[in-house]
Amino acid sequence: MTRTNFNAAKVLLTVSCAVLFTAQPSGAADIYKKMANDIARYSAANKVKNIAVIGFTRKARTSREESEYVAEKLLTCLVKNGKVNLMERNQLDKVMDEQKLSLSGAADAADAIKPGQLHSVDAIVTGTVFGTRDHLKIIARIIDSVTGAVLHTLEAQTDRQWDMLDEARGFEFDVPDQAALVAMFGDEAQLPVFDDFRDAPGSFSGGFSGGFGKTECTVRWFRVAIMQNGAVEAKAKYWARQMRDPDFSAKDLKHNPGGEIKDPEVKRKFYELLDKFYKSSELPNMSAEEVSSVTDLANEETKIKNDCGMI
């Protein structure tokens, strides 16, 4: 081989290697990293300092585990990015207490907490996951926590991870539906009858079946998510007591409790506590305050389901 041909071969080999390594499809982790970087760039450019990530809605063929995974993975990448302030899980209890005080009317009107004042959360990150045969299509939104306006949207697509689904079920327990709360503690609390979720918006104008706008409903769901976090232990006790009642039957129930919890971390905590209380040698005791927190949460969930459906 001549020197010229040898040099040409080296160039060809170098180019081929470059193509080989750069043409490889980015992994699923890179998709979430890019989404996190996009959110961080928008936040920096628009002075959005504090963000809370809540659960993603699932559509089409998306499983609950996949939608939870998307939210968790995006949250993890945002933490690693380090360029935005994220509400920590242990701060949600304080936020929930502030919110309950405001909703109860105990706070003065001038001091009443508005959604955007919840622990200085400037924006909410949420979205929708659509499943196709081979892919997950993710549409994420950054929403103003005061006005409910959609500030920024981004889209991504990743391969489905079928092997993740079985492993994602960390809680294997046949739990009943929210509707059974009506029959619980009949002498202690009167809980509302739960209607089925209504998944579809009322029209293309952004309104829902109860006449409420999409942005208002999003903010209201965020507030309910905060309440769900604060009442998670009480709710787990509540269900454990019901399920250990000899007269209890799950045959007439349609959905699992906890299905309405939007935050994946809170949902996982609920199932872990429910499993613990149900298997405990002693029936868990509930204070009047705990019963009240579950009742208040049930009422709020019912109102928003009737007004907005699932978003």
Domains detected in the chain: 28-167 (3.40.50.10610), 171-308 (no CATH)
How many other CB atoms are there within 10 angstroms of residue 80's CB atom?
11
Contact status, residue 176 vs residue 243, Cβ threshold 8 Å: yes
Predicted local distance difference test score (pLDDT) of residue 233? 92
Predicted local distance difference test score (pLDDT) of residue 5? 47
Predicted local distance difference test score (pLDDT) of residue 245? 81
Predicted local distance difference test score (pLDDT) of residue 214? 62
Structure tokens at 271: 């199932």
3-state SS assignment for residue 16: helix
Give 10-residue mean pLDDT values along the chain (311 residues). 46 39 51 93 91 84 84 89 76 55 50 49 88 89 86 91 53 44 39 36 41 66 81 90 79 69 82 89 89 86 76 43
Predicted local distance difference test score (pLDDT) of residue 227? 82
Torsion-angle region of 105 (φ positive above 0: left; ψ -120 to 50: alpha; else: beta)? left
For the chain, give the secondary structure using H, E and C.
CCHHHHHHHHHHHHHHHHHHHHCCCCCHHHHHHHHHHHHHHHHHHCCCCEEEEEEEEEEECCCHHHHHHHHHHHHHHHHHHCCCEECCHHHHHHHHHHHHHHHHCCCCHHHCCCHHHHHHCCEEEEEEEEECCCEEEEEEEEEECCCCCEEEEEEEEEECCHHHHHHHCCCCCCCCCHHHHHHCCCCCCCCCCCCCCCCCCCCCCCECCCCCEHHHHHHHHHHHHHHHHHCHHHHHHHHHHHHCCCCCCCCCCCCCCCCCCCCHHHHHHHHHHHHHHHHCCCCCCCCHHHHHHHHHHHHHHHHHHHHHCCC
Predicted local distance difference test score (pLDDT) of residue 153? 94
- E-assigned strand segments in the chain: 50-60, 85-86, 123-131, 135-144, 150-159
3-state SS assignment for residue 153: strand
Nearest to 310 by CA among 204, 222, 199: 199
Predicted local distance difference test score (pLDDT) of residue 268? 86
Q: Amino acid identity of 102?
A: S
